[in-house]
Every structure is written in C-alpha cells, then in structure tokens.
Amino acid sequence: MLFFEGSEKKLEIVMRPKSDSLRALGHKYWQKMVTKARADILCSMSNDQCDAYLLSESSLFVWDNRFLMLTCGTTTLVDAAAHFIHDRGQQNLDFVSYQRKNEYLPHRQRTTVNDDLKKFRTLLDIKAHQLGYLDTHHHFLFHYAHPDYRPPSHDITAELLMYHISEQAANKLLHPRSIESIREFLALDKLLDGFILDDYLFEPFGYSVNLLKGDDYATIHITPQQCSSYVSFETSLDLSGKYRFIVDELLKKLRPRAWDCIGFNTKPQVPEQRDYLLLGECQLPLECGYQVDFNYFLDGHQTPLTIREL
C-alpha cells in the first residue's frame, strides 16, 4: 500500500519595513532554502507582485516583504526557517508563524512538534498553541510578532483541508487522462477566474497547482491514495464573502468525510449539509491583531474545542 503524508507544515515570515526585497534574492537563494527543508523546486511562475514556486513537496510564494512556504511528506520545514532567520537576522522580522497539523503517521516524521518548538525557541521569543483535541484533528501554531507589527486590514488567509475524499473523486484523481483533465474536474477556470496557474502531475499519484492574480494567491495539493487521501486549498481570498462559493464547489466535487477550516482574519463559510456537522470550533486572538478561527467538520455532535498554551 503506497502511503504519503499529505498534510502540510506551513511557514510565513513578514519582514520589517524598509527591508531588502525578498524577490531580489533570486532563484538560487530560494533553492537553498527549499533544500534545507529536504525538498526541490520543480517549476516557477511570476507576476508583478509575486514569484510562485511549485515544490516536490507543496509550494513557496515570495513577495517583496514576505514569503509563504508549505511542505508535506517528511520534510523538515523548521530547518529552512532556522536557515532564513540566521541569514536575515531576527531584527529584520516583523511576524513569523509556523503551523503543523497532526500527521497520519507521526512516527515517520524526522522531527516531532516538540523538536520544532525547541528549535524555534532558540531563535525567537515564540508563543505556541494547540488548536483542537489531541485525540482528533488538531493543529499547532507557533508565532512571533515584533512589538510594532500590526497586520494590514486586507491581510487574509483561508485554508480548507479535506480528508478521505469520495471514491469517485479519488478515482478521477488517481487515474487522470491528463493534467488538463484534473484542471477540468476541479473547474479551476471557474473557481479562480483570471488567475494564472502553474501545475504539476506527480508519478504515480498526486497533483499540485499554484495560482496568482495580482497580489492574491491560491494553491491546491492533492494526495488521492485511499489510505491517506487529503486535499488542501489555501488562498488570500476571503472565503466568507464573495468567494465562499469556492468552498461549496470543492466540497461538492470531492465529498470528503471530514474537513478543517482555518482562517486568519476571516472565517471561511461552509454550506449547511445534512451529512456533515460542526464537531467543534475555537478562536485564538493573537496580540498583534490576527484573529485565528479553527473549525472541524465531521459526522457527530457539536462539541467545543480547546486552546492549550505550550
């Protein structure tokens, strides 16, 4: 049985005002960063605001004053974070966040969550939280903010993380006729109209796509194997407003048995469905101004979740 850990680790770093442009660092710099995480750059695209790299394990987006890096599998994203912080200097950082979800097979990972936290705390005055119960879906969030940092009002991140997609959807993604057939199945031209895209079809299974439109981004990563099927969608679009239809369409197409919604300064809205219930939810206000919302959907009764400080 072919297994792959699809859930991502996620790093986002915002630079202090008047810092040097991150885009100016160039491809070789980011290739070294990606190598530190035990991944590779497969291809890239750019527009006037952002450089987007598709990785052997997920994605990297680089703007002038910030970057976002996602890696899956058994990657060591914490090592890439340590390299960047040592190289650019703590004094040049405005905000750092690191997310890691509980894995299907955590014993196969090269580091534990506690290992990652210990390393981060040698670098920064990190605060860490667990969102959710230990015995079901939960996420770890580490964060650091400069005392002067406040996120812009338009600074939004929305994540839709889907688990155990339907057999019909999995079959379309396990044995696609072509990369174009996956784009058609997902209806990317309708979901994200006006975005340019860069995608990759992995062998024997898997699909990733990066999308850009101005300063906005989106990315989708698919692990279709039945034993560990997982699909992630992340974007800077507000999924609680005019773009909430994206959530509706992805859930209808993929029909996951469970999903998580995570929002920074937004709360992604999901359709009311008879087959799904909100199992739990929690909110975490960060001192710098972000409001983090975590919602977990599954068959079952609504239950409050907890936040635990580490």
Whether 58 sits among the annotated catalytic residues: the reply is yes
Catalytic residue among 8, 57, 234, 281: 8
Q: How long, in residues, is the chain?
A: 310
Q: Choosing from 12, 50, 56, 58, which is the catalytic residue?
A: 58
Q: Is 146 assigned a catalytic role?
A: no
- Clarify whether 261 is annotated catalytic: no
DSSP-assigned states of every residue in 61-115: EE-SSEEEEEE-TT--HHHHHHHHHHHH-GGGEEEEEEEEEPPSSGGGSSS-HHH
Q: What angle do CA 128, 132, 133 make, to 5 degrees?
A: 115
Active site residue: 56, 59, 208, 236, which one? 208
What's 133-175 look like in SS3?
CCCCCEEEEEEEECCCCCCCCCCCEEEEEEECCCHHHHHHHHC
Q: What angle do CA 133, 239, 44 make, to 5 degrees?
A: 95
Catalytic hit among 12, 56, 221, 236: 221
Pair 100, 111: CB distance under 8 Å:
no
Tell me whether residue 236 is one of the annotated catalytic residues: no
Q: Which two tokens stand for residue 72?
A: 């899956």
Strands (DSSP E) contained in 175-257 are 196-201, 207-213, 216-223, 230-235
Active site residue 240: no
Structural Rg of the chain based on CA atoms: 18
Catalytic status, residue 221: yes
Active-site amino acid positions: 5, 8, 58, 72, 208, 221
